[in-house]
Amino acid sequence: SNPKYSMCWLSYKPIEKKEYVQEVEKFLGQIVLLEKNIYFQNAGNELKIALGALFGTEPRLSNAENLYMDSGIILSKVTNEKLSIFITEVEKEAVGEEGFLIKVVDENKKKYIIVASKSEKGIIYGTFHLINKFRLKTGLKELNCIENPKAPLRIINQWDNMDGSIERGYAGKSIFFANGRIKRNYKRIWDYARLLASIGINGVVVNNVNVRDKAIWLITPKYLNDLSKIAEIFRLYGIKLYLSINFASPIYIGGLDTADPLDKNVQNWWKDTVQTIYSYIPDFGGFLVKADSEFNPGPYVYDRTHADGANMLAEALLPYSGIVIWRAFVYNCLQDWRDTKTDRAKAAYDNFKPLDGKFLDNVILQIKYGPMDFQVREPVSPLFGAMEKTNQMIEFQITQEYTGQQIHLCYLGTLWKEILEFDTYCKGKGSYVKKIVDGSLLGMKYAGFAGVSNIGDSINWTGHDLAQANLWTFGKLAWDPDIEIEDIAREWTILTFGDDKKVVDNILWMLLNSHAIYEKYTTPLGLGWMVNPGHHYGPNPEGYEYSKWGTYHRADTKAIGVDRTSRGTGYTLQYHKPWQEIFDDINKCPEELLLFFHRVPYDFRLKNGKTLIQFMYDSHFEGAEMVDELIEKWEELRGKIDGKIFNRVYERLKMQKEHAIEWRDVINTYFYRKTGIPDEKGRVIYP
């Protein structure tokens, strides 16, 4: 109902299918809250709003002393005695701290739908689950379920700056900050909380990991009061507030002359600071730390280890059950391109592997999915599977920095799913990344998912309307990485655009093929990095070739790629067997990662018999051409979806086409100039 922005997949519309409405209506007499607190009240309100919009009913919201009514939705804790005739002991036991149960009671006199959680946290998840199941017209019997999130930490990282800009943001300005202050437009934050709760998120880090200027002071009373308001909203939706900190805060804020983690004054300063934070925000989540990384200070400044640094903060947070999320994105960003020995891909492992077992229990290492930096494709970071005694989280970039900046359609669920299904072999066969980051394989208390947010204050939150699917998918995978990606994407499509068959088929096709298409016309075969420096949009084959960032492909007239095998930089040695041997062998290496692991001559024959150079040409022609298919699929939906959304997406698809052609031509010309080898098919490659 707010014209300023859409509610994405929570834009409720009346359910039109009569039979379904009739079937369900009998259960909607009232909404009964068996718990009296703000969390259940809030969940009840959400349900009421939804039922009104979906069924046109206005059920009473009541706190029943006894279950006298014959029909209604009951929100309760599983332990509530009044439910003991409906819920078995076994069912009760099966509901975890953040989980919920939905049970349909369909007796002569009693028609109830019970949503029951173990704690305050689970009830909002259960409520949104039920609302969306109604919207998917799920049959009553299929509503019965017990759901628990697999991973304990499901956290969104905002890279929002206090001036209102967003680092790598492509959807407008920050909804949290403007002009050096915390925004007091709580309505938007409230709606964000609703969106996030509906996908099972339980934490938000509200400020950028690069903590500069005013943001350093967010941990002080100057800002804590306003932050506590945001935390209060989030809390209602099961979400904790976290902050990114600057490791040198004791110097900046405290006036100390050091931030050495082993210095008593520094330790006490952090303890005092943490105590203050908790006096404003009693359930504060903890700190996210980017230390010794891209010009941010860290323990290395004082010749201390990252365990020293993280543990010092962890000790301060421990009394309040707070946690330290420590990023593993540590590498030398002042490399010399002439140096062929140093391999940035090895950095995270080299920095952190020696510290396995040295972190306190409330420290979690946040590891980017790949060893470099969110490229269109990278191998899985070998650090997963190398830290058997360390809490680990995987970091995905929902915002599309290297994947088209929300101008190109690039659905990331397919890539993420592949990453999560990767078998690290750290405990033998079956040691999937998903089992490491949900904590189950290594039996860790903390584990989980971090996603760099793709939202801003734009009308549709994500710039590209279809990029909402990436946020949705991140949450869904974090809740349960075992779900099929098609199912996740389909559900999003139906909730967002309705269930017209053509609409669903076409959008699903677009989503599921978009990453592969983008990869084809940009940097296939694990190449990566051929982007313009700085803003990272558009092709520039040698944009990073002679820079300090350690991201080189070293193309000459004969070959391209870095030899990262045991014969080269030795990066492959960071993997368990059999991956070491597989990646080491140019004939066994998964082809989509060929140029990540190998230096390959242009006349090398790929599995389909094509030479490398011909593959490059074909891939770029094909990819750019396939954008037409995306456009056609969308055009077929004209009139079937909201006109404004249609036009917005259409505009972006046309830009995508133009920019895909630019990618195609720049990259093809680059290779043609390097090699002088013409395209076998005689297509236009500019000289």
CB nearer ligand GCW, residue 528 or residue 623:
528
Active site residue 592: no
* DSSP-assigned beta bridge partners for residue 366: 327, 393
Single-letter amino acid, residue 339: D
Catalytic residue among 294, 361, 629, 636: 294
Catalytic residue among 120, 160, 373, 423: 373
CA dist 272 to 218, 269, 284, 287, Å? 15, 5, 15, 15
Say if residue 32 is exposed, middle or buried (CB neighbours under 10 Å; 0-12, 13-18, 19+). Answer: buried
Binding site for ligand GCW (CB under 6 A): 159, 167-168, 209-210, 290, 294, 329, 373
User: Tokens 């405290």 identify what position?
Assistant: 254
CB nearer ligand GCW, residue 368 or residue 564:
368
Task: Report in angstroms how near the CB of residue 284 gets to ligand GCW at its nearest.
Answer: 22
Task: Report in angstroms how near the CB of residue 621 gets to ligand GCW at its nearest.
Answer: 29
CB nearer ligand GCW, residue 395 or residue 457:
395
H or E element that contains 290: none
Say if residues 27 and 73 touch (Cβ distance below 8 Å).
Answer: yes
Task: Report in angstroms how near the CB of residue 167 gets to ligand GCW at its nearest.
Answer: 5
Task: Report in angstroms how near the CB of residue 451 gets to ligand GCW at its nearest.
Answer: 12
Task: Report in angstroms how near the CB of residue 201 gets to ligand GCW at its nearest.
Answer: 19
Question: What does the longest C-alpha to C-alpha distance in the chain come to?
Answer: 84
Say if residues 64 and 34 touch (Cβ distance below 8 Å).
Answer: yes
CB nearer ligand GCW, residue 393 or residue 503:
393
If we measure between CA atoms, which residue out of 578, 570, 589, 565 comes closest to residue 425? 578
Please give the sequence-ordered ranges of beta strands (E in DSSP) within 387-484, or none if there are none: 391-397, 447-452
Catalytic residue among 46, 401, 491, 679: 401
Say if residues 244 and 205 touch (Cβ distance below 8 Å).
Answer: yes
Helix axes of 120-135 and 38-55: crossing angle, nearest 10 degrees? 10
Work out whether strand 100-106 and strand 111-117 pair parallel, antiparallel, or are unpaired: antiparallel
Task: Report in angstroms how near the CB of residue 409 gets to ligand GCW at its nearest.
Answer: 21
Work out whether strand 286-289 and strand 145-147 pair parallel, antiparallel, or are unpaired: unpaired
Task: Report in angstroms how near the CB of residue 332 gets to ligand GCW at its nearest.
Answer: 14
Active site residue 308: no
Helix axes of 38-55 and 221-236: crossing angle, nearest 10 degrees? 50
CB nearer ligand GCW, residue 329 or residue 552:
329
Which residue has the CB atom at the shortest distance from ligand GCW? 373
Residue 115: Cβ within 10 Å count = 25
Q: Where are the alpha helices (DSSP H) in 237-385?
A: 249-252, 264-280, 306-317, 347-352
Say which DSSP state 609 is in.
S
Active site residue 373: yes
CB nearer ligand GCW, residue 60 or residue 212:
212
| Catalytic residue list | 294, 373, 401
